[in-house]
Structure 1
Amino acid sequence: MDQLIKELQQANVGQIKENELLANHTTWKIGGPAEVLVIPKDETNLAKTISLLKKNNVPVFIVGRGSNLLISDKGIRGVVIKISDSIDHLEVNGEEVRVGAGFSLIKLATMLSKKGLSGLEFAGGIPGSVGGAVFMNAGAHKSDISKILKKAKVVYPNGKQVWYNNDEMDFSYRTSRLQKDQGICVEAIFQLRNGNREDIVAEIQKNKEYRKKTQPWDFPCCGSVFRNPLPHHAGKLIEEAGLKGYTVGGAQVSTIHANFIVNIGGATASDVLGLIDHIKAEVYKKFQVQMETEVELIGEKS
């Protein structure tokens, strides 16, 4: 690893940190150390980093803004690449928007609403980056990324780069092909439409206010923990199982929305996993419904 670090430093790819606590890079404020964390300064240096990792045969994991992510207490061996604000270019050509994967989804939705571009109103309160939203097919308010994505530029750990059209992304509920083949979205092209600026801004504000009222943002959280086991709603099942406020260590089922687990202080990944297992067991016992996590679980097992 020392040789790899030396090569990354010589290539001047960006910030390089050893044994960096990943709790500092997730919205849950949970996660052990990365053996090495690299924050590339632009897309070119991201590709350079991946190429060096491939050459050295080093395991790699890529994160964005750290939402929808649970990293184990033992952390991650190998190299974690963080796609940050440095990969956040934005180009608006009429109704077509080209944007870097590190761009904040909330910020993008807000900016475009003020330009009178419609299609991203649903995303006004969704935390995380554009790249993560494409990866998860993020959605809300009866819409999602699949409704507006035209193309996505994807990089693979072996260095291969591909542009995928919407119909090649295998989108379904909170799912894309990137979860299956470990592709990383580094850029997206969205097809929006012109609309009435005041109506769009009002809609996005309404969605933001709804999320503030119905979801917990006073404690660190990752977003929704479970996928909705359609036709049921995960939050409703958890609440009806009597689990609102149920706590394991520093992890608690939110008293505001039961499909959120919040870090009320010092929560570990083990606390969250214990709470997830308890929720699954209780919901199945009461409703015979299998719950499936939406949050991505990564890192070394404790």
Structure 2
Amino acid sequence: MINKYALTTFVSELSNSVPMERILLDEPMSEHTTFAVGGPADVLILPESVKEMSLAIRAARRLELPVTVLGGGSNVLVRDGGIRGVVIQLNTMTKVLACHDRKILASAGYMLKDVCQFAQENSLTGIEFACGIPGTLGGAVFMNAGAYDGEMSHVVSRVRTVNSEGGVHTYDAPNLGFSYRQSRFQKSQEFVVEVELTLRSGDPKEIQARMDDLMNRRRSKQPLEMHSAGSTFKRPPGYFAGTLIDQTGLKGLSCGDAQVSMKHAGFVVNTGHASARDVLNVIHEVQKRVEKAHGVHLEPEVRIIGED
């Protein structure tokens, strides 16, 4: 049970530093996630700077309120009961975007597609693989997001974080703990606020052509026109999740308005007004049937958070 007095005190204190239009009470997370499902956050904070984020975390910790940090809300499923305590969403943190030599420094709230376009404009190549991945730069680092034989571990050289006490730290690449869809930040209770990318010089026309090609491939194969959290399942060793689901005959499997996409079986989509429970029912049914048919357990790639 959340202490209501602590929540009220938190909002009162933080409003001295953060405008109230970026402190949202009982805010439905369906409006802040790409799945368009999820119950309310007790308090949703939209910081614009590392200082604001650090102040929010320190105030929450002092008042013993739980803190959840999100990027663009693209790789997450919020349960129907919502999220207790304080939610901090970083897609408004877009203060820094700079290029020097072959390095880009960017705030964690920038959308990946915008960082990729900035790289192209500065004749830098190596991050084209990410141009169609939904979500923020910080979220991509957290998940070590990847596509088309590229992943964030290939290009990230330094990361600045805020920890669960509000302290700021910097990590170089060897200390980021990257592996398949993993980083140190999934266990360390530190939150990515700024990222340095090290890229290579390239021809801007060739870079743009590569990005256009990858986006066309995505549009032709993935249900980008529907609400989803991106790829629902991690790739199991030796297999492709979408192929296994398709081979099991599960395209179109639905519960309420949640459905295994008819376009790409690796995606569970919201066709209208799905609840988180609908989505979870589809995920669990897919896991059960694929394991029965192929002996392979599918692990969700999407983060499942909040209360039922």
Deviation, 1:174, is 0.9
Runs of 4+ in structure 1 deviating by more than 3 angstroms, as ranges, are: none
Of residues 184, 190, 198, the one that matches 1:177 is 184
Would you say the 8 A contact 1:62–1:184 is kept in 2? yes
Deviation, 1:43, is 1.8
- Aligned residue for 1:132? 139
One-letter amino acid of the structure 2 residue matched with residue 210 of structure 1: R
Instruction: Give the whole-Å Cα distance in 2 for the aligned partners of 1:107 and 1:96.
Output: 15
The alignment status of 1:165 with 2:175, answered yes or no, reads no
Normalised by the length of structure 2, the TM-score is 0.95
Query: Where does 1:56-205 land on structure 2 (aligned, <5 Å)?
Result: 56-205=63-212
Q: Secondary structure at the match of 1:204?
A: helix
Q: Secondary structure at the match of 1:81?
A: strand
The alignment status of 1:260 with 2:264, answered yes or no, reads no
Instruction: Give the whole-Å Cα distance in 2 for the aligned partners of 1:228 and 1:269.
Output: 22
The alignment status of 1:250 with 2:257, answered yes or no, reads yes
Instruction: Give the whole-Å Cα distance in 2 for the aligned partners of 1:130 and 1:58.
Output: 26
Instruction: Give the whole-Å Cα distance in 2 for the aligned partners of 1:185 and 1:270.
Output: 29
- Aligned residue for 2:242? 235
Deviation, 1:165, is 1.2
The alignment status of 1:8 with 2:30, answered yes or no, reads no
Deviation, 1:169, is 1.0
RMSD of aligned C-alpha atoms?
1.1
Would you say the 8 A contact 1:113–1:204 is kept in 2? no
One-letter amino acid of the structure 2 residue matched with residue 255 of structure 1: M
Would you say the 8 A contact 2:232–2:302 is kept in 1? yes
Q: Secondary structure at the match of 2:16?
A: helix
- Aligned residue for 1:52? 59
For each residue in 1:96-130, what CA deviation from the matched residue of structure 2 results, as whole angstroms up to 9, or x when unmatched?
Answer: 11000000101111221132100111011011000
Runs (5+) with no aligned partner, structure 2: 1-6
For each residue in 1:246-270, what CA deviation from the matched residue of structure 2 results, as whole angstroms up to 9, or x when unmatched?
Answer: 1111100001111101100110110
Deviation, 1:13, is 5.7
Does the C-alpha gap of structure 1 residues 88 and 280 become closer, same or farther in structure 2, counting only changes over 3 Å?
A: farther
Instruction: Give the whole-Å Cα distance in 1 for the aligned partners of 2:32 and 2:305.
Output: 14
Percent of aligned positions with the same letter in both sequences? 38
Of residues 280, 288, 292, the one that matches 2:299 is 292
Runs (5+) with no aligned partner, structure 1: none
Q: Secondary structure at the match of 1:107?
A: helix
Would you say the 8 A contact 1:13–1:41 is kept in 2? no
The alignment status of 1:207 with 2:221, answered yes or no, reads no
Q: Secondary structure at the match of 2:85?
A: strand
Would you say the 8 A contact 1:88–1:101 is kept in 2? no
Normalised by the length of structure 1, the TM-score is 0.97
Q: Secondary structure at the match of 2:134?
A: coil
Deviation, 1:161, is 2.0
